[in-house]
């Protein structure tokens, strides 16, 4: 699933060709991706101009001149690209947005899990998300305060989008390694110094990953990212730790895997 760095990379790639453009029509090949918004997309989106494109957690947010928001979640295998109308469609193009300049915004999603929303109240979709980890207003003290009355495994907590927005398997594993915290550790056993170290690790990992345009794990979905070449633990099961040489271990937490060094992450 695209995480914060991949989504941020896509947002930055879309701004130049889309801001100022007007939607002319919408074609929905897989109705479930638009759900209740399907009728609104066809009826209300044509004629609306894109004023800004941003990100909230793993969601892309298109701010429209009318005040409405077009919100897209890529889920596991979604991607967005701008293509000329003359270009052949990909077999996994599920939602296609006609633009006023002879181009289209195409939502490609092999597994059909992605979602598209058109709303006049973005909080209906985004209101339950936790803070943005890279927001300048989100301080170490704010992060420490998030742990009040929190328990459970720290890796599972980091994946909770209501706790903090945008993290997934890759960057949670990498940040926990940098902070020296095992993913199985209970959140309520962390010392304040552990939490502050984790805050800095999260921001460092995400910042570098964005500079590297995210991680390319599947050629058709995450194009151009280079951060996978810097993975310290994620996907490196049984390979030697770059710090101490111990074999990287993998375990299961709920339905997710977790990679860690048993020596560096005591």
Residue spans in the chain of domains classed CATH 1.10.8.50? 140-260
CA-closest candidate to residue 233, choices 210, 255, 259, 213 = 259
140-260 domain in CATH 3.40.1390.30? no
The CATH number given to 4-126 is: 3.20.190.10
Sign, Cα dihedral of 254, 6, 48, 91: negative
What does pTM read for this prediction? 0.94
Q: Where in the chain is the domain with CATH 3.20.190.10?
A: 4-126
Q: Active-site positions?
A: 2-3, 58, 256
Closest CA to 105 of 84, 131, 86: 84
pLDDT tens for each residue of the chain, 266 residues long: 789 999 999 999 999 999 999 999 999 998 899 987 788 899 999 999 999 999 999 999 999 999 999 999 999 889 999 999 999 999 999 999 999 999 999 999 999 999 999 999 999 999 999 999 999 999 999 999 999 999 999 999 999 999 999 999 999 999 999 999 999 999 999 999 999 999 999 999 999 999 999 998 754 555 678 899 999 999 999 999 999 999 999 999 988 899 999 999 98
């Amino acid at each position: 699933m695209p995480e914060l760095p991949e989504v941020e990379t896509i947002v930055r790639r879309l701004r130049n060709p889309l801001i100022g453009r007007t939607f002319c029509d919408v074609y929905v090949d897989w109705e479930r991706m638009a759900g209740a918004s399907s009728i609104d997309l066809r009826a209300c989106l044509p004629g609306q101009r894109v004023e800004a494109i941003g990100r909230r957690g793993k969601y892309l947010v298109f701010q429209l001149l009318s005040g409405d928001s077009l919100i897209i979640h890529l889920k596991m295998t979604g991607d967005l690209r701008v293509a000329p109308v003359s270009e052949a469609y990909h077999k996994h193009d599920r939602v296609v947005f006609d633009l006023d300049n002879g181009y289209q915004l195409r939502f490609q999603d092999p597994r059909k899990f992605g979602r598209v929303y058109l709303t006049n109240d973005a909080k209906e979709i985004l209101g339950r998300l936790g803070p943005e980890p890279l927001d300048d207003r989100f301080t170490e003290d704010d992060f420490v305060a998030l742990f009040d009355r929190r328990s459970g495994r720290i890796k599972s907590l980091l994946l909770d989008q209501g706790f903090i927005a945008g993290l997934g398997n890759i960057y949670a594993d990498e940040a926990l390694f940098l902070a020296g915290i095992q993913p199985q550790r209970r959140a309520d056993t962390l010392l304040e110094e552990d939490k502050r170290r984790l805050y800095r690790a999260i921001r460092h990992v995400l910042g570098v990953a964005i500079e590297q345009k995210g991680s390319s794990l599947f050629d058709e979905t995450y194009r151009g990212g280079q951060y996978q070449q810097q993975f310290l633990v994620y996907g490196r099961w049984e390979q030697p730790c770059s710090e101490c040489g111990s074999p990287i271990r993998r375990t299961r937490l709920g339905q997710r895997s977790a990679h860690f060094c048993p020596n560096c992450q005591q």
